[in-house]
Chains A and B, each alone.
Chain A
Amino acid sequence: MKRNSAYIKGAFFAIALCFGLLAGFGQNNAQAFSNQVVQVGATGEDVVELQSRLQYLGFYTGNIDGVFGWRTYWALRNFQYEFGLPIDGLAGGTTKNKLAKASKYDKAWVNKQIDKGKKFSYYGGEKKSAKSGSAKGGTAKSGTPKAGTAKGTKGTGQAKAKPAQVKPAKNTPDGYSQNDVNLMANAVYGESRGEPYIGQVAVAAVIINRVNSASFPNTVSGVIFEPGAFTAVADGQIYLTPNAQAKKAVMDALNGWDPTGEAEYYFNPDTATSGWIWTRPQIKKIGKHIFCN
């Protein structure tokens, strides 16, 4: 993942020019990309457009989900290889220019499909009937370079057979699902609603430390629902709807932030009933909670 700021700046300029051109001709009613460089891990409209255009050309066979994942990455690199561009896996100015020229993209239509959550087969193949001719032309055109990429993309050949889906997706920290994130957010919110932000990250970090510890269950749900482990679980506060801040705190903890210094226990000294918890070696106090080993 190299970068070249001069190249990027140039690219911005080029893209700006391209905008002007497109507007002038009024030919491609959907404007091409914003002037951002798109890289692995990115999400948003630009990625939807990138995936749609790559799919139109037959390079990308996955779902149009708006997340620049690895499949999109390899598709983009194959495209760059075929079109004689520097192969860096970044959708910068020149790459996007070439893409915009070589493919068609109907933003409104794709977005409508996404909003509806509708499955639609191969983008470009099953567009509105009026355009189907040109769409076919597009795929046919891409057929020629595709023969050359056979080595690179094995999946490309199946492009037309396999219907792609529009499915919005989300990045999640490695090893955890969105449902894990939600469950943890529930626990964090129930346990530490009134705490400062850092205190919430700390509670989430303790859950993760316990999952990784030998003396606790090995799953997020196992740790959270261990009888007696969390008061919020015992009194049902875990089922309150968490706010955005609790989710943010959980994401930080899952991404590796641990303000507790690897604590596995914490307690509120004002309400703690167990004498044993006081015997644990204490690390620090964050908000109202004392964190210990």
Chain B
Amino acid sequence: MIRTILIVLLFVAVAGTGYWGYSEHQEKNAVLLQAENNYQRAFHDLNFHMDSLHDKIGETIAMNTRNQLSPALAQVWRLTSEAHNDVGQLPLTLLPFNKTEEFLTKMGEFSYRAAVRDLDKNPLSDKEYNTLKELYANSTEIQNELRKTESLAQKNNLRWMDVEMALATNKQPEDNTIIDGFKTVDKSVEGYSDVDFGTEVSNMEKMKDRDLSQLKGKKITKEEAKKIAVDFFQLKKNVKITVESTGKDAKYDAYSLTLYNPDTKGTTYMDLTKKGGYPLYVLYDRNVGKPKISLNEAMLQAEDFLKKHMESQMEMVTSDQYDNIGVFTYARLDDGVRIYPETVSVKVALDNGDIMGYEGTDFLLAHVDDRTPTFKISEQEARKNLNPKFQVKETSKALIRNDINEEVYCYEFLGILGDDTFRVFINAENGNEEEVRKLKEAEPSYNDI
């Protein structure tokens, strides 16, 4: 009797476990399939978009009239953005595919610039037609390679989940057809790396190539770096300092210092340029208590700090309180002109006014000692180019980097339209509206309501 009951119970248990295991397995497969489907969609979308992109570029070469060309170039711009988006959804981070992505971005930038330009007045130059032709040739290669990969993947029923696994575990990813295909695409793009996209796009590149070689001063040693840090913070002897040099491939050659102060139990991190020993950034890590001083007092602290450590005259452009921290940005003031590219940020603790951080990388990269301001038109003339509904409240002179990263002198108008506040920059040479910046109001805390 007992034996029968046991057997029945055992049978029920086995059957139950089996059913449970089966349903778990089904669920797991469903989830995997879902992920696979997402990858497949992104992959086929990418192929579709590259196809249309290729065709569109081809069409722009054949076109002549402006009312055809501008929309076609805008289409190219849109398609590059779509393709870029598709790439972002595929597990390609660990693959060398960034050249292709960069290429797509530049192609987009190039076509955008050409599309928004008045092509009646300023038609595409021969050079730009050549660029388009090269882009066409390149996109042919990308398209062919991707199509080949796609068809092989379909024929052999290849799965992106396997690609992901192969990349994550690094188990012979070489013999994976998909991975091979994408690697070939990136290789082929590399061959086109010297395509001339014109000054407007290459200005973006120039920003990336900036370095600190223009800084004045000698190369400093590790010991000198320590001394500079001690002077900078007026530290006592008991502070523990470690210095490390950046790797040989660093864009900005610097010493990274870590200072531990046993008195305050705070750690300060700072980077000093090897050339000249200028601080790139400083961050002080300690617990900050409840705010006791106002943002205004904190600003005075920040200004004292800047006076002590910087020769240039600086003017505050933003001030923000984040609970118990105040963050201020300052732009250099050069003969009454705000030099916006040359900014530093200072972070102040609102419990006792300590300087919690300083960021000067942008300032060091953009700093030029003697600039020659060119203000050809008067402020009154510049005003005429403003939106008539815009109420000007304050006016000043400024140097900004416009959307193609050129430094231009501008008249800066701070004012309101409706309930919003804007900064509008009017080019001081030709009166063009260079930039309109909406100043952000605080964001309501949605989860506190």
- Using a CB–CB cutoff of 8 Å, the interface residues on chain A facing chain B are 1, 3, 5, 8, 36-44, 46, 61-63, 65, 67, 69-71, 73-74, 77, 90, 117, 154-155, 167-174, 177-178, 196-198, 201, 214-218, 222, 226-229, 234, 251-252, 255-259, 261-262, 273-277, 281-286, 292-293
Contact = CB atoms under 8 A, between A and B. Distances in A.
A167 B321 contact: no
Given A174-B318, A215-B99, A276-B95, 8 more contacts: A38-B295, A41-B295, A43-B323, A65-B444, A155-B419, A227-B93, A252-B283, A255-B347
Nearest to B356: A252
A261 B274 CA distance: 13
A284 B253 CA distance: 10
Nearest to A179: B446
B252 interface: yes
Contacts of A73: 421
Contact of A228 (B102, B168, B250, B296): B168
Contacts of A172: 440, 442-443
Contacts of B251: 261-262, 283, 293
A61 B441 CA distance: 14
Given A36-B293, A283-B249, A227 B89 contact: yes
Contacts of A44: 291, 321
A234 B167 CA distance: 13
A274 B96 CA distance: 11
A215 B98 contact: yes
B256 interface: yes
Given A70-B439, A170-B442, A38 B294 contact: yes
B279 interface: no
Given A38-B294, A215-B98, A262-B251, A229 B93 contact: yes
A42 B321 contact: yes
Contact of A292 (B96, B164, B249, B258): B249
A117 B447 CA distance: 11
Contacts of B297: 36-37
A63 B444 contact: yes
Contacts of A169: 441-445
B244 interface: yes
A287 B168 CA distance: 23
B241 to A, nearest CB: 15
B340 to A, nearest CB: 13
Contacts of A217: 84-85, 88
Contacts of B449: 117, 167-168
29 contacts: A1-B316, A37-B294, A37-B297, A39-B299, A41-B319, A62-B419, A69-B441, A69-B442, A71-B441, A77-B393, A154-B418, A169-B442, A170-B443, A178-B445, A196-B267, A196-B285, A198-B267, A215-B98, A215-B99, A216-B88, A218-B84, A251-B325, A256-B329, A256-B359, A273-B169, A282-B249, A284-B247, A286-B256, A293-B251
A226 B441 contact: no
A258 B419 CA distance: 34
Q: Is the interface of B mostly helix, strand, loop or mixed?
A: mixed
B294 to A, nearest CB: 3
Given A170-B445, A259-B271, A42 B285 contact: no
B92 A257 contact: no
A154 B94 CA distance: 55
B338 to A, nearest CB: 13
A226 B88 contact: yes
A173 B347 CA distance: 13
A5 B319 CA distance: 18
B220 interface: no
A42 B444 contact: no
Interface residues of B, number: 84
Contacts of B112: none
B82 to A, nearest CB: 12
Given A3-B300, A41-B320, A168 B246 contact: no
A1 to B, nearest CB: 6
A173 B419 CA distance: 20
A277 B94 contact: yes
A77 B391 CA distance: 14
B295 A258 contact: no
A11 to B, nearest CB: 11
Contacts of A285: 244, 247
Nearest to A251: B322
Nearest to B160: A227
A178 B294 CA distance: 23
A184 B98 CA distance: 23
Contacts of B138: none
B170 interface: yes
B74 interface: no
Contact of B283 (A37, A228, A257): A257
A210 to B, nearest CB: 10
A108 to B, nearest CB: 19
A154 B446 CA distance: 28
A6 B279 CA distance: 33
A41 B320 CA distance: 4
B357 interface: yes
Contacts of A171: 320-322, 442-443
Interface in B287-306: 291, 293-297, 299-300
